[in-house]
Structure 1
Amino acid sequence: MTRRQTARQLRVPLTVRAVHAGAALLAAGALAHVLWSGLHERGVALAFGALVLVGELARRSDATRGDDRGGAVREREPAPLGAAGALAYALLGENAGHATHHGVLQVVAVAAAAFLAGAVPHLARGRAPTLDHMARRVLTIAFAAVLFQPLYNSGKSAELIGHGPYYALWLVVIVALTGLCDAVLAAALVRARTRWPFGPLLRDELRAKRGIGSAVGASGAVMALAVAVAGLWALPLFCLPLLLTQLSFSRYAAVRTTYRQTITSLARATEIAGYTPQGHARRVAALSRAVGHDLGLSGADLVVLEYAALMHDIGQLSLVDPVRHGATADLPAVEQRRIALLGGAVVRQTGVPADVAVVVERQADPYRDQPLTARIVRAANAYDEMARGEGPGGPLAALERLRLATGRDYQPEVVESLARVLSRGGLAPAGG
C-alpha cells in the first residue's frame, strides 16, 4: 500500500468531522449545564440513566464493527434497550401523573453520560462502539428532545394537542421523524466516507428501520406513556420484551455471520487447491460490492452480488489442469461458459440462494444477456486478473483494456463505475 493510499484512508471527510464535532460539543455543553445547575427530578434521571447504561452494557460488542465498505453483516441497532430508554426519556412529560421539567440539555446529558459509561467495558476489550454510531445516537436523541420538551414544558402541547389519542399520535410522529433523522445521518456518514450514491444508502437505512428500528421507536414511546401513568415501576416491565428482542437479533446476526464465513471458506477452496491466487475471491468481492453500491444496488442485491463474487471461480475445481494464474478471462468464451455452468451447479448444492447460482452461471454470458450483478462480477474479476503482476502500471493498463472491450465484453457503465471506485481508493495493484 502506498503512502498516498494510507494518507487517503486516514483522512476523515469534512462531513464526518462536522458530525463528530457537533455531537461532542452538544454532549459537553449539556454535561456542563447539568453539572452547573444540577439534576431536575434526580430519581427519574437516575432511573433512565441506569436503563440506558444497562442497554449499552448488554450491547452486541461486535455489532458495530462491521464495515459497509467491506460487506460484513452488520446489526443496525446493537443496543436497542439503551436506544429505547434514551428515546423514552426524551419523550417523557410526566411521572405517575406529575409533570417533569428536565428539558433538552438534561436529556442529552443523561443519555451521553450513560452512553460513555456503557462504552468503557467494551473499550477495555477493544470493541468500543464506533464514533459514527455514538455521534448519531447523541444527535438523534437531542433531535427528539427538541421536538418534545420545549412544547411540553411550555404548555403549548396541552393547548394544541391535549392528553388524549392525539397526544399519542404526536409521540408517534416524533418517533417517525427521529427515525428519519437517524437514517439521514447514517446515510450521510457512509456517503462521506465512500462517495456512494446517497439515495440507495438512505433507502437501505429506512428499510432497516422497519425491523429493530420500529421496535425501538415504539418501545420508547410506550415506555414514556407508561411511566407518565404508572411511574418508574413501568420501566422494568417494558425492558423484558426489548431484552428478548435483543437476544433474538444477536442470535440471528451470529447465524448470518457464520453463514458468510462458511461461504468465504468455501470460496477459498480454489485458492487452497492452487487454482486461483491468494486473496483473488476476496478482492473481487470487495470490488464488486463497491461497484454495486456506486451503481445504486442495495439490500438483497448487494448480498447476492457479494456471495456470487466470492464463489465465482468455484467451477475451476472441475478442471484437470489449472488455468495459468487462474485467469479465466483469457480463455475462449466456450470454456469460460463451461466453467461458469459447473460453478453454478456446485453453488446450487451448497444451500446458497438460487440467485447467487444464477450470477455464477451467467458471468461468462454475453454482457447484454446478463443481469447487472453478473456484469459487475465479470468486470471486477477481469480487472483483478489483468492488473495482477503488471507492476505499478497494472491497474491503469487493466482499466484501459476493459474500456477497449466495452460494448463487446463489458458494460460501459460498469467499467466506468469500477474506475470511479478505484480512483477513490487509489489504483492499487491487484493483490497489493
Structure 2
Amino acid sequence: MLPHLTAGAAAVAGLGWTLWHGVAEPGTALAFGVLVTVGELVRRDTRTEPGVREPAPLAAAGALAYALLGESAGTPTTHGVAQTVAVVVAAALVGAVPQVARGRGPASAQVTRRVLTAGFAALCFQPLYNSGALIGAVGRGPAYALFLLLLLVLTALCDAVLTALLVRARTGHPYGPLLRDELRALLGIGSAVCATGAVMALAVAVAGLWALPVVCVPLLLTQLSFRRFAGVRDTNRQTVSSLARATEIAGYTPPGHAHRVAALSHVVGRELGLSGPDLTVLEYAALMHDIGQLSLVDPVPAGATARLPPGEQRRIALLGGAVVRQTGAPAAVAVVVERQADPYREQPLPARIVRAVNAYDEFSREGAGHADGALYALERLRQDTARDYHPNVVEALARVLARGGVTGVAPG
C-alpha cells in the first residue's frame, strides 16, 4: 500500500542519512526519542478500534514537538527533516515491540502514521526555520504563533486523511465515514495532541530539555486516565455481550446468533455511513435484539423470529426494549430493540440494519442445505424488500458479503 511504502522509503532515507552524517544534538535526539518510546509503551489497546483513534497521544505530541523544534534553551538546533524521521521511526519501533509481543494491535499502521505525520510537519518547518526564511518573514511575535497554528492544522488534517486511508485498506469500510470520524476526533484528542506538541517545542526552545517532563506529565496522566475509561467501556461491552448470551443459554436462540448479528450489523452500519456513538448503539442493540424472547413460554423454533406474524414480532421487540431499559444501557439502544419489528419505512436506520441482518442469519441457517446458503438468504431478503427489509440495507449487506463478510466471529 502506498502510505506504507512511502513511510518505509522515508524511514530508510532518514536512518541512512543520519547514520552517514552522524546524530546532531544527540542529547536532544535521545530525550525526544525516549518521550516517543514511552508514549508508545503506554498506549491503549487498539484491538477493538484499530487505527480509528490516536492510541498514543504522548508519542504523537513528542514526535510533533521534535519536528517543530528550532531551538533548545536559545541555541539553534540543526537536526533537520531526515534526523526527525530517523528518531521518530526508531522510537516508534522500539515502543511497538512489547505491544506486538502482547498481540495488541498492528504496529505497522502506527509507525506509518507517526513517520509520515512527523515527516510532513518537519518538512514544512525545518527548512524554513533553519534557513532563517521563517523568522525573517514573520519574526517571533504573533505571526510566528499563527504560522505554527496553521501548520498544526495542516498536520492534523494530514494525519486524519492518512488514518482513514489505513483503516479503509485494512477493513474495506467506506472512506467517507472513516474520515468523518477522524475529523470529529480532531476537536478532542487531536487538538490536545497538536497544542501539546507546539507547547513542548516552544518550551524547550526557551527553557531547554528540562521543560519536557513539565509539559508532558499532564498529557501522560490524561492518557493513563483514558486507558482506565477505555477499560470501563470494554467492561460495559462485555456485560452487554454476556446478557446477549442469556437467550442462547436458555435455549431460545442458536449458539452464536447474537454475536454474528452484532458483528455483521457493525460492518453493514459502516457501509451505510454510521460512525462513532451510532455504531456503538447499533452493536449493543444487535447483541440484545432477541432478549425479548425470554418472555415466551414456548421458544420459537430455532429462535427464528423472522417467520413470526408481525404482531408477535412487535410484542417480542417491545418486551425486549423494556428489558434493555432495565440493564442501564443507553436509551437509544432500547429504542432500536423496540422498533426492529416496525414497518421499515418507519424505522431508524439501526433498526433496519438489525432486522435485515437478523433475518439474513436465520435464512442462512435455513439455506444450509442449498449450494450457497448466503445467496439463498440474500434472495429471500430481496424478495421481501417491498414490505419487510429496506432495499438499501439489503444491498449494503450484499456488498459486505461480496467482500468476505465478517471474519473471526465465533460460531458459539
Instruction: State TM-score, norm by structure 1.
Output: 0.91
Aligned to 1:232: 209
SS in 1 for 2:403: helix
SS in 1 for 2:78: coil
Match of 1:64 among 32, 46, 55: 46
Residues in 2 aligned to 1:161 and 1:232: alpha-carbon distance in whole angstroms: 25
- 1:387–1:395 contact (8 Å) kept in structure 2: yes
Query: Which AA in structure 2 matches 1:411?
Result: H
Query: Which AA in structure 2 matches 1:394?
Result: G
**Change over 3 Å in CA distance of 1:260–1:160 after alignment to 2:** same
1:211 aligns with 2:188: yes
1:247-294 CA distances to partner (integer Å, 9 max, x unpaired)?
111111111111111111111111111111111111111111111111
1:347 aligns with 2:335: no
Residues in 1 aligned to 2:94 and 2:405: alpha-carbon distance in whole angstroms: 39
Equivalent residues in 2 for 1:244-323, closer than 5 Å = 244-323=221-300
- 2:264–2:405 contact (8 Å) kept in structure 1: no
**Change over 3 Å in CA distance of 1:197–1:129 after alignment to 2:** closer
**Change over 3 Å in CA distance of 1:329–1:238 after alignment to 2:** same
Residues in 1 aligned to 2:265 and 2:105: alpha-carbon distance in whole angstroms: 29
Of 203-212 and 140-149, more deviation after overlay is shown by 203-212
Aligned to 2:16: 32
1:93-129 CA distances to partner (integer Å, 9 max, x unpaired)?
0111111111100000011111111122333333365
Aligned to 1:403: 382
Equivalent residues in 2 for 1:320-339, closer than 5 Å = 320-339=297-316
Residues in 1 aligned to 2:209 and 2:106: alpha-carbon distance in whole angstroms: 28
Aligned to 2:5: 21
Match of 1:424 among 391, 403, 408: 403
**Change over 3 Å in CA distance of 1:251–1:75 after alignment to 2:** farther
Residues in 2 aligned to 1:120 and 1:413: alpha-carbon distance in whole angstroms: 43
Match of 2:178 among 201, 226, 229: 201
**Change over 3 Å in CA distance of 1:128–1:31 after alignment to 2:** farther
Aligned to 1:4: none
- Give the unaligned 5+ runs of structure 1: 1-16, 69-73
Match of 2:140 among 144, 158, 163: 163
Aligned to 2:347: 370
- 2:305–2:313 contact (8 Å) kept in structure 1: yes
Aligned to 1:71: none
- 2:252–2:294 contact (8 Å) kept in structure 1: yes
Aligned to 1:44: 28
- 1:120–1:128 contact (8 Å) kept in structure 2: no
1:118 aligns with 2:95: yes
SS in 2 for 1:116: helix
- Give the unaligned 5+ runs of structure 2: none
**Change over 3 Å in CA distance of 1:124–1:387 after alignment to 2:** closer
SS in 2 for 1:388: helix
Aligned to 1:184: 161
Equivalent residues in 2 for 1:139-150, closer than 5 Å = 139-150=116-127
- 1:94–1:227 contact (8 Å) kept in structure 2: yes
Residues in 2 aligned to 1:65 and 1:171: alpha-carbon distance in whole angstroms: 34
Cα displacement (A) at 1:426 = 5.9
Root-mean-square deviation (CA), in Å?
Answer: 1.7
Of 221-230 and 168-177, more deviation after overlay is shown by 168-177
Match of 2:73 among 91, 96, 99: 96
Residues in 2 aligned to 1:124 and 1:301: alpha-carbon distance in whole angstroms: 33
Query: Which AA in structure 2 matches 1:311?
Result: M
Residues in 2 aligned to 1:351 and 1:191: alpha-carbon distance in whole angstroms: 33
Match of 1:393 among 347, 362, 372: 372
Instruction: State TM-score, norm by structure 2.
Output: 0.95
Query: Which AA in structure 2 matches 1:359?
Result: V
Residues in 2 aligned to 1:174 and 1:252: alpha-carbon distance in whole angstroms: 31
- 2:52–2:167 contact (8 Å) kept in structure 1: no
Query: Which AA in structure 2 matches 1:283?
Result: R
Residues in 2 aligned to 1:195 and 1:240: alpha-carbon distance in whole angstroms: 37
Report percent identity of matched pairs.
69
